[in-house]
């Protein structure tokens, strides 16, 4: 019988906006330039970078078109971030 190794999850939530900000910095692109190229308000990009707004599938597709980074990368990063936040809240609630 094969035993499964226990799954290990990081409890460090990495906001997708943090990755986006690093990518913009590496390309020398401003938030305003990205917003213009996406056809979105600059405030929306700033809210994503500050983790106040989620990356939607539509935004992920736009990022793919502008940055050349697969939309699934952005949606998976967003999902992992939200799941980690939920796991942390659940862990804290169980500890209380």
Which residues, 6+ apart, have CB-to-CB distance to 57 below 8 Å? 71, 75
Q: For the whole model, what pTM was predicted?
A: 0.87
Domains and CATH numbers, the chain: 16-95 (1.10.260.40)
- Name the band, by pLDDT with cuts 50, 70 and 90, for residue 14: very high
pLDDT digits (tens, 9 = 90+) for 22-41: 999 999 999 999 999 999 99
What pLDDT score was predicted for residue 11? 85
Give the C-alpha separation, 13 to 32, whole Å: 26
Using an 8 Å Cβ cutoff, are 48 and 20 in contact? yes
Give the C-alpha separation, 63 to 83, whole Å: 22
Using an 8 Å Cβ cutoff, are 30 and 1 in contact? no
């Amino acid at each position: 019988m094969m035993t499964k190794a226990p799954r290990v999850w990081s409890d460090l939530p990495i906001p997708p906006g943090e990755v986006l900000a690093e990518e913009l910095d590496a390309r020398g692109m401003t938030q305003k330039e990205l917003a213009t190229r996406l056809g979105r308000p600059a405030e929306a990009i700033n809210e994503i970078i500050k983790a106040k707004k989620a990356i939607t599938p539509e935004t992920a597709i736009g990022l793919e078109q502008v940055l050349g980074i697969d939309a699934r990368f952005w949606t998976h990063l967003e999902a992992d971030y939200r799941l980690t936040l939920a796991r942390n809240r659940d862990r804290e609630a169980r500890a209380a």
